[in-house]
Homo-oligomer: A and B are copies of this chain.
Amino acid sequence: MSARLGVTYRVRSDAASIEARAQVIAVEQSVEMPLEAIDEPTVLRDIVGEVQSIEVLGDDCFAVRIGLAAATIGSDAGQLLNMLFGNTSLHDDVVLHDVAFPDAMVAGFGGPRHGIAGLRRRAGAQHRALTCSALKPQGLSADRLGALAERFARGGIDYIKDDHGLADQDYSRFAERVRACAAAVARATQATGHPTRYVPSLSGDLNAMRRQLALARELGLDCALLAPLIAGFANMQALAAEFSDVAFFAHPSLGGAARIAPALLIGTLFRLIGADAVIFPNYGGRFGYTPDTCRLLADNARAPRDGLRPSLPVAAGGMTPGRVPELLDFYGADAMLLIGGSLLAARERLTEETAAFTRAVAAHAYR
């Protein structure tokens, strides 16, 4: 018996067709050819996907669990995504809902190098929730972004991430921006005594991102942001292995395009391939995730799991400081709150509003 992943798809279908539909998915995500044309017994036994269960969810929706051979994936995170949902993503009646991994595969991918403990250590905050803001808008010069970063840091924030739109544009080169922001945050941390971390956003191909990380490390930075669905899962995996001293924040950009359940994609898969923190759209903000989705996503990111460090859930997307108590009651202390636009909207009072945000998080009494 070879090891298998238990992959759950949610499928729209009528009851009469669901068994055949499930079998089609099992074939599509494994050998992708008529079984009657396969005469190799080991392929039929060990490689072809197998329908393990079909559960009625109601409203013409079914949970179909397919066993996919771990051997078809090996240790390549890109191939993981390819085998989980490559061709089946092209069928619009199917959502990739959940995956149960064999233990050896989880250990092989390895997950976060730093995780929640490493991000707490960087921020010098052992018990409370962590705080984050975002540098934007894109279009500002490196100096202007640096000045913003300094004001956030003077408000005592833990992490300042680049907006994921900041890349290596003509008007704001990565190198120039990162130098300006790293220096600005260093000045502020000297003044405040709080070890605020600047988290630059990586972009381009793998080698461009490697050069960006090398520069960041040279400037004393130990965190970086990237979007796994833009960068490619295998490249995220490679960077996490090569820059093992860097804590990686994963951004959900393009995460909606493929009909993968957010809790699986952002909570489980981003963690599996090495994200130390996973940013996701919080309920009640600019995006449509429900509280249940957010809770499940956060649970997937940080729940104890043999051999994997927990990844820090970072709730983001249209949040306001007024929601801090509600959100910390909801997520607990093993979380990071990311508030960008509504702090920037304070304009000349940015540092003061940031300080109020960080104080509210520090003062929260967890239930």
Contact = CB atoms under 8 A, between A and B. Distances in A.
A46 B137 CA distance: 12
B234 A203 contact: yes
A129 B259 CA distance: 34
Interface in A54-113: 69, 71-74, 76, 78-79, 81-83, 85-93, 96
A83 B165 CA distance: 7
Given A90-B281, A205-B237, A30 B165 contact: yes
Interface stretch (A152-160, A181-189, A225-233, A306-314): A225-233
A141 B347 CA distance: 64
Interface string A198-242: 000001111110000000000000000001011111110110000
A47 interface: yes
Contact of A137 (B31, B164, B286, B346): B31
A256 B42 contact: no
A36 interface: yes
B78 A203 contact: yes
Given A31-B136, A82-B167, A92 B37 contact: no
Bin chain A's interface residue count: 35 or more
Contacts of A144: 40
A341 to B, nearest CB: 4
Interface in A169-187: 169-171
Interface in A13-48: 24, 28, 30-34, 36-40, 42-43, 46-48
Contact of A253 (B36, B89, B139, B169): B89
Contact of A205 (B42, B88, B235): B235
Given A82-B230, A207-B206, A234-B204, A255 B92 contact: no
Given A206-B205, A235-B232, A257 B92 contact: yes
Contacts of A138: 30-31, 43, 47, 72
Contacts of A257: 85, 89-92, 96, 256, 259-260
Contacts of A139: 31, 40, 42-43, 46-48, 69, 71-72
6 tightest Cβ-Cβ pairs between the two chains A and B: A232-B232, A47-B139, A31-B137, A86-B253, A206-B206, A89-B256
25 contacts: A31-B137, A32-B136, A33-B344, A34-B344, A37-B345, A37-B346, A40-B144, A43-B138, A43-B139, A78-B205, A78-B231, A79-B203, A82-B164, A85-B257, A86-B227, A86-B253, A89-B254, A90-B255, A90-B256, A92-B256, A208-B234, A230-B232, A255-B258, A256-B259, A257-B260
Given A40-B139, A82-B164, A91-B288, 19 more contacts: A33-B341, A36-B345, A38-B137, A39-B347, A43-B139, A71-B170, A78-B205, A79-B230, A85-B254, A89-B256, A90-B256, A90-B281, A91-B256, A91-B287, A92-B257, A93-B288, A203-B234, A204-B234, A257-B260
